[in-house]
Amino acid sequence: MRTSHHAPDGSGKSDRAARAAAASHAADIVNADRLVRLPEVRFLTGLGKSSIYEAVKAGTFPQAVRVTDYAVAWRKSEIDRWIAARPSVTEPTAQVESAKPRPKHAASTKAAPTKKAPVKKSAAPASRKAASHRPTAKRKAHA
């Protein structure tokens, strides 16, 4: 005899779907409050180590939490909020707080490339060349 997987409350959700939704919600809670180390923060944000620490110092990125005397980590929930606050590419150009100012690409800001005169290599003195060269002994032909 086959049993029904529909919920007894008549909601139409099966027991399996309800359990999967509850497990997914529990996983979201656990993952949101876990601590992540620098390599994962770099992966999640796309930022380099120096950029992350500069943004922390400027107050535009979440502070790290001291885990041990020698280790720090970030709360994943704070990293996720920081990511969500970033403007998307399709939004009108907005000034992002942590972005470094870029130089203008005007021709006047770049110096014209200059050609350097070729450097003439000096030859080693003849006496040094002769001293370092050792002639090989010729083999005598066997008759």
Q: For 40-74, how does the pLDDT look when each residue is reduced to its tens digit (9 = 90+)?
A: 999 999 999 999 999 999 999 999 999 999 999 99
Among 122, 18, 32, 16, residue whose Cα is nearest residue 75 = 32
Distance from the Cα of residue 143 to its chain's centroid = 74
**pTM beyond 0.85:** no
From residue 38, give the alpha-carbon distance in Å to each of 29, 31, 47, 143.
Answer: 21, 16, 10, 78
Enter the tokens of residue 61: 């990125």
**Residue 7 clears pLDDT 90, i.e. is over it:** no
Distance from the Cα of residue 45 to its chain's centroid = 8
From residue 68, give the alpha-carbon distance in Å to each of 29, 30, 64, 72, 108.
Answer: 24, 21, 12, 7, 51
Distance from the Cα of residue 120 to its chain's centroid = 44
**Residue 97 clears pLDDT 90, i.e. is over it:** no
Strand partners, 9: none
